[in-house]
Amino acid sequence: MSTPPAPINVLFLCTHNSARSILAEALLNHLGNPRFRAFSAGSSPRDNQQPHPIALRVLQNAGIDTHSLSSKSWDAFAHADAPHMHLIITVCDNAAGEVCPIWPGHPATAHWGYADPSQTTGSAEDIEAAFRSTLHLLHKRLESFINLPIESFDQLALQTQARSLSHV
């Protein structure tokens, strides 16, 4: 009996790690288990930052587990004993433009920009609709991503394929 391959670790980054990156982490863990293991972090989460309650509600309504989600700084993944990341994806334009830590192992990188649903104005229904829309867009992109033969990719091919999905 052969040992199953180790999962591909993906880190989703955003500024505060409360909405887009949280949605992406939970969704990839839901869709891609056991091939993928997703994490999320923020470049500058606020003190006592928590996942956005509407993000959690939208995930729960979609049947996606939220119990392990938490907001954290990207510093948690920049030290030697952190999980080795294969791919780091920024999901907001602010984080994409910031100087990132030097990641152990120099993982592949990509940017998938999404509007911040937590910045939506209007009624409670409008705001929740923005979170659902972001989840839907992430789902579409992640479905394409998890169907790639990533296990056979080298780092450059992984980066090239992940970046090409920014247009999906």
Q: Counting every residue, how long is the chain?
A: 168
121, pLDDT greater than 60:
yes
> d(Cα 24, Cα 111) in Å, to the nearest integer?
13
Q: For position 112, what pLDDT does the model report?
A: 95
23, pLDDT greater than 60:
yes
pLDDT in tens, 63-115: 999 999 999 999 998 887 889 999 999 998 765 566 667 777 889 999 999 99
What would the CATH number be for the domain defined by 8-161? 3.40.50.2300
- Angle between the 20-32 and 124-146 helix axes, to the nearest 10 degrees? 40
When comparing pLDDT for 57 and 151, which is higher?
57
Q: For position 103, what pLDDT does the model report?
A: 76
Query: 14 vs 27, 81, 130, CA distance in Å?
Result: 15, 22, 17
Q: Which of 77, 80, 59 is nearest to 69 (CA)?
A: 59
155, pLDDT greater than 90:
no
Q: For position 95, what pLDDT does the model report?
A: 56
Q: For position 78, what pLDDT does the model report?
A: 82
Confidence of residue 147 (pLDDT cuts 50, 70, 90): very high
Rounded to 5 degrees, what are φ and ψ at 108?
-65, 155
pLDDT in tens, 136-146: 999 999 999 99
Confidence of residue 150 (pLDDT cuts 50, 70, 90): confident
Q: What ranges in the chain are assigned the alpha helix state H?
A: 20-32, 53-61, 93-96, 124-146, 155-164
Confidence of residue 26 (pLDDT cuts 50, 70, 90): very high
Per the structure block, which two tokens stand in for 139? 């789902």
Mean pLDDT of 131-156: 93
> d(Cα 31, Cα 99) in Å, to the nearest integer?
30
